[in-house]
Chain A
């Protein structure tokens, strides 16, 4: 049944060039008039787990349409099992990523920005297809690139801003520094599907966490394509895992998972927020709710976004002979 629907959906799209997937695939006129028009290659949007691009194990999908209401793509509808696999991958990647030098993390985030810059047109086209105006799409992609550079620069600086040497009265050298919380689940916002993801993802990984992110349910294509950018940017496998799917279905699994340390929820649905906070208490997860209406100003462009998913560790050393 599901496969039949998929075939029908694809067939429908093939006949309508305006409704291509996000990638620039308008059929080109070929020089030799006698040959038929080239048929565009449609993109399959998949999940990104542990450095691989699997389809959902569930075989489920959901359709999205473009700005004209025409079918745009079939997205993987990730299941609880996909999510659990993603957490396993994120946990496995945590030791290495959190121990990576700040300089290295900064270079890798910068590399992500470079890769996104190189594929700017693709993302502008994808966002346009999802309903943004061309100037808005271009602005969003450029800000996403700049935001990656911004947090790349913070990687080896936030520690200096937020750490302290504590003048205790006993004979000890005592200091507090930040360490990443661990595995962070990010429920990305619907508004600004690319920038919203990057604005919340970049500070989490800049701080050494590993992440399982759920792309915007309404407008997922650009965010899912962003996984390809990550994949070609020296980001180690498992550091970022990206799912598409139904927010309401997956939230309870995100919040209840006992090996997730923090959950960043972008949105303002009171019922969802309460559900997340309630289930998160099972393992005292940190819950960060970000209800911003814009991701394009200093409300999200600041190092406190890094500090949100950090733990303060204080170490005591005796001073003496």
Chain B
């Protein structure tokens, strides 16, 4: 339907009835302890912190805060399990345990999806269709590698690294736990994993599954807490390898903290991906790609397409279509199956995003927001687009980690590539064109670890993921994701 000016008008009767996913089958306990040595144990300090549903601002549960003593207990449990059980098991047996985890995850997928959306604020459509199935697939994929890893490294014999300390972010809580745990276990390591403090619940539910799957105690230990807990893991001398996913700022601190030792590390850090739209692209498809690139998971995605580079000749057209499409996005209850954009993960992150919205306007960019309604309680951000930005603007250079897109234009392929590469990051990129040769040229010139051509934000356990430049070191996923967890001899 369009109004007198020919603009599409969405304020019509085309509204959706609420379609909330039931949370009745999810049992959330009042209090969660640390998972160490196969048991849930109270933190030595006796301290607990709240985890909040960002869509309601209500407390879901309180969760143990692990001190360095607790981390030490977890590392000792992991070391014991590594030396006495896990590294001595036949690889085929390790694989079977990991297959079990994958299967139970699939069986309890709906419960995990609902819990993930409640604790983190992401739309149920995404937790149901992306996060949980991918997490299960990740365990399934790496389970099969357990007795085959030597084939991945020609001319080399492999052996496990030992105890891995793993620190994961709040944007894909269970999926990141799977990315970390599955390859580590398949390669014969044991782990101490710290979920993010705002989204610990699915990792703790995973701990229950790991117990159900009868893994030897101590093979997987899960310690909850904030930055201090993470620092205790990084600083622990008996951890052989650190795997971190999070901000470049913290990644730098970790790289420095590990400088005095030979402990290995992989870092999956920030990004500021350019989504490049050429004039010969299928524009409606490209607009879907832009939407998926920046508004998927509220833009809490390190590889988000947070910069739109659009060829000047089609810029007005693309922007008009983009605004039309943004007008259809539904922001609200994460558990509603119609919701496109859920809640911002935490109050702190909402403040960060709002700070960048101010910075963008102060720098002189024009801000456009969809006019959708948002709930009164909870943390929300309307889909946002900045135009009139230049390469030096902070909203072009810095990662915002929210549903905020900066739009620039270009005239030539070379200009697009130069602008795409002109940030310290190099995690991902998008290219939209109908010309195959152009795809290969541009995708080889974009300095980034993942390039999506005529698609965006696709993930698979078999597909290596990781950054160039300040977006990190090492790869996770696929064959290449094995190497961080193996010594080659």
Contacts and interface: CB of A to CB of B under 8 A. Distances in A.
Interface string B445-489: 001111111110010101111101111110100111000000010
B259 A277 contact: yes
A318 B424 contact: no
Interface string A135-169: 00000000000000000000000000100101111
Contacts of A161: 154
A48 to B, nearest CB: 27
Interface stretch (B53-61, B82-90, B248-256): B248-256
Contacts of A179: 444, 447
B478 A164 contact: yes
Contact of B480 (A164, A167, A170): A164
Interface centre among A261, A275, A284, A312 (most CB of B within 10 A): A284
B260 interface: yes
B260 A166 contact: no
Contact of B464 (A170, A172, A176, A261): A176
Contacts of B447: 179, 182
Contacts of A176: 463-464, 478-480
Contacts of B468: 181, 311, 313
A281 B469 contact: no
A316 B469 contact: no
Given A274-B259, A304-B488, A315-B443, A167 B470 contact: no
Contacts of B462: 166-168, 174
A110 B468 CA distance: 30
A248 to B, nearest CB: 17
Contact of B255 (A277, A313, A317): A277
A302 interface: yes
A283 interface: yes
A278 interface: yes
A164 B424 CA distance: 27
Q: How large is the interface on B (under 10, 10 to 19, 20 to 34, 35 or more residues)?
A: 35 or more
Nearest to A320: B454
A286 interface: yes
Given A261-B469, A283-B424, A311-B449, A174 B255 contact: no
B269 A284 contact: yes
Contacts of B472: 284
B252 A284 contact: yes
Nearest to A95: B445
A52 interface: no
Contact of B449 (A166, A168, A314, A317): A314
Interface in A272-321: 273-278, 280-284, 286, 289, 302, 304, 311-318
Contacts of B449: 311-314
B136 to A, nearest CB: 12
Contacts of B469: 182, 261, 283-284
A40 to B, nearest CB: 48
B34 interface: no
Contacts of B470: 283-284
Contact of A281 (B155, B256, B452, B454): B256
Given A170-B460, A312-B464, A317 B251 contact: no
Most buried by B among A167, A174, A316: A316
A278 B259 contact: yes
Contacts of B154: 161
Nearest to A284: B470
Contact of B463 (A261, A273, A314): A314
Given A174-B462, A277-B258, 6 more contacts: A164-B480, A277-B255, A281-B255, A284-B470, A312-B464, A316-B455
Interface of B: 137, 154-156, 248, 251-253, 255-256, 258-260, 262, 267, 269, 424, 439, 443-444, 447-455, 458, 460, 462-466, 468-473, 475, 478-480, 488
21 contacts: A164-B464, A164-B480, A166-B463, A166-B464, A170-B460, A182-B469, A277-B255, A277-B256, A278-B259, A281-B259, A283-B469, A283-B470, A284-B472, A311-B468, A312-B449, A314-B464, A315-B450, A315-B453, A316-B453, A317-B439, A317-B453
